Amino acid sequence: MTDTLLYDLLEVEPTASAAEIKTAHRQAAKRFHPDRGGDSARFVAITRAYSVLSDPDRRKRYDATGQFDADEADNSHADLIFTLSSVLNHVLSSSRLAIDSTDFVSEMRRLVAASRDVTAEELAAIEERLEALQAARARIRRKDEAENLFSTVIDGQIRKLTQARITKRNVLAAQERATEELERYDSMVDIIRSVQSGSAGTSPEPGA
């Protein structure tokens, strides 16, 4: 019962792959970016659509119900701003960098890429742990009908790891969008103006 509105905004089919959605978002964001004279309302809508469709869990929920949590989707912008602000502050506070000769954008790209790699590794470890717990839960059985205490313990761990997975996915999504956003800038002035105005790309979570 998929409502195709979000897919229509990105001009892709509901069967589009993650890579196709990412490419479509990049093209649409470039076309409608306010800094290039684009429609800001359309840009926000495109960003919201991508924040939902680029997340496997949110996309699955949207495909099943045709609905999405707008507040949750809008958090993606705040997450992006936080990521960009964090990496910018890190670069500016580094005593080893010469302010007047440093390529700040390249330095920020490097830091975001390094953070993204770490987050991806942490997410993979969580996925592996979840898989192991789910397998253990299926194999540990009681001989009688009493409460399976091991299942209770494992279920608690699974809940915590599931939430941790959501958080890590959001962080990784923000870092990936920060990488895309940094490709749009070539000067320190542009970066600072973007972060201060909140127009940094409306696209997004913390990561650095």
| 119 in any annotated domain | yes
End-to-end CA distance of the chain: 38
| 205 in any annotated domain | no
CATH of the domain at 164: 1.10.287.110
| 43 in any annotated domain | yes
CA distance to 111, 114, 122, 146, per residue, from 117 (Å): 10, 5, 9, 45
| 149 in any annotated domain | yes
Distance of alpha carbon 113 from alpha carbon 203, whole angstroms: 17
Neighbours of 176 (CB within 10 A): 22
| 113 in any annotated domain | yes
Is residue 47 a contact partner of residue 76, using CB atoms and an 8 Å limit? Answer: yes
Q: Which residue has the higher pLDDT, 5 or 35?
A: 5
The domain in which residue 11 lies consists of: 5-197
| 193 in any annotated domain | yes
DSSP letter (8 states) at residue 141: -
Per-residue pLDDT, 106:
85
Instruction: Judge whether residue 125 has pLDDT over 70.
Output: yes
pLDDT tens for each residue of 69-115: 765 655 666 677 778 888 888 877 775 656 666 777 888 889 999 99
Instruction: Judge whether residue 206 has pLDDT over 50.
Output: no
Q: Which residue has the higher pLDDT, 139 or 45?
A: 139
pLDDT tens for each residue of 50-59: 888 988 888 8
| 202 in any annotated domain | no
Distance of alpha carbon 171 from alpha carbon 190, whole angstroms: 24
| The residue to which tokens 């105005």 are assigned | 197
Distance of alpha carbon 161 from alpha carbon 58, whole angstroms: 17
| 55 in any annotated domain | yes
pLDDT tens for each residue of 130-184: 999 999 998 898 889 898 899 999 999 999 998 888 778 888 888 888 888 888 7
How many structural domains compose the chain? 1
